[in-house]
Amino acid sequence: MKPIHPNGLHETVADIVRELGDKVNVRTATLDQPEQGLPDEILNQTDVLIWWGHCAHDKVEDGLVSKIQERVLKGMGLIVLHSGHYSKIFRRMMGTSCDLRWRDDTYERVFCISPNHPIAKGIPEHFDLGIEECYGERFDIPQPDEVIFEGWFDIGEVFRSGCVWNRGYGKVFYFQPGHETNNAFQNQYIRQIIKNAVEWIAPAVYRDSMGSPHINPTLEELRK
């Protein structure tokens, strides 16, 4: 059987973002790398951080979580996928338990309920994802600024599966699909949503160390 993530799940996700072409410079970080893959010089150059995690949430250093939080508050976009709902950084950004009702694999249909949001560009009213791990309500998150997607599961659960929040100068997007043994990241609409999210969540403005807002130099470069 062909492995679902032949180069690791982080590379599966990175390949989706790489489809944005010259607009992006993609690198991956894993816990086993020095400084858990996110030394200051890399974090401080990152416009968008995508976070997927499952069993090792408690291995992430609290000091790194604080640095990521600070970076988001200054403007960096944070995209949290699937079981990342329990990551230290997501719970830190939300300030709640981020607990949810867990059920095993079942059949999911994703509804796009905010079709005008930039993350929903090109996404139909609903699409069938197929077999996916079931997350249900109540999802213990603060009220999102907008719920863009809702998941319906055929064992009788619903879930706010795509939500956005503003945090300081930065934005956070949580997106539920992406269990490691299923095929969500091969689904064309899931891939489109992740690419849309990267483009939307990249900061136009950063807050510098003195607290002053300034235009993101990366985006300025792109406009030339």
Number of residues that bind Zn ion (CB under 5 A): 3
DSSP letter for each residue of 26-49: -----TTSGGGG--HHHHTT-SEE
- Per DSSP, the three-state class of 1 is coil
Confirm or reject binding of residue 132 to Zn ion (CB under 5 A).
no
CB 85 to Zn ion: min, Å: 10
Encoded tokens for 18: 């790489």
Stretch that binds Zn ion, among 80-88, 136-144, 163-171, 192-200 (CB under 5 A): 80-88
The residue sitting closest to Zn ion, measured at its beta carbon, is 179
Confirm or reject binding of residue 85 to Zn ion (CB under 5 A).
no
Is residue 177 within 8 A of residue 132, CB to CB? The reply is: yes
CB 142 to Zn ion: min, Å: 22
Is residue 148 within 8 A of residue 110, CB to CB? The reply is: no
CB 62 to Zn ion: min, Å: 24
Encoded tokens for 216: 């993101």
CB 175 to Zn ion: min, Å: 13
Q: Is 57 exposed, middle or buried (0-12, 13-18, 19+ CB in 10 A)?
A: middle
Nearest CB to Zn ion, comparing residues 69 and 83: 83
Among 83, 87, 187, 196, binds Zn ion (CB under 5 A): 83
Stretch that binds Zn ion, among 36-44, 79-87, 112-120, 187-195 (CB under 5 A): 79-87
State how far the Cα of 136 lies from the Cα of 103, in Å rounded to an integer.
8
Nearest CB to Zn ion, comparing residues 91 and 179: 179
Contacts of 11 (CB under 8 A, 6+ apart): 5, 28
CB 86 to Zn ion: min, Å: 10
Confirm or reject binding of residue 133 to Zn ion (CB under 5 A).
yes
Rounded to 5 degrees, φ, ψ at 85 are: -60, -25
Stretch that binds Zn ion, among 9-17, 41-49, 83-91, 167-175 (CB under 5 A): 83-91
Positive or negative torsion for Cα 120, 165, 177, 199: positive
At position 193, the amino acid (one-letter code) is I
Question: x-or-dash pattern for Zn ion, window 154-183, by CB under 5 A?
Answer: -------------------------x----
CB 67 to Zn ion: min, Å: 26
Q: Which residues bind Zn ion (CB under 5 A)?
A: 83, 133, 179
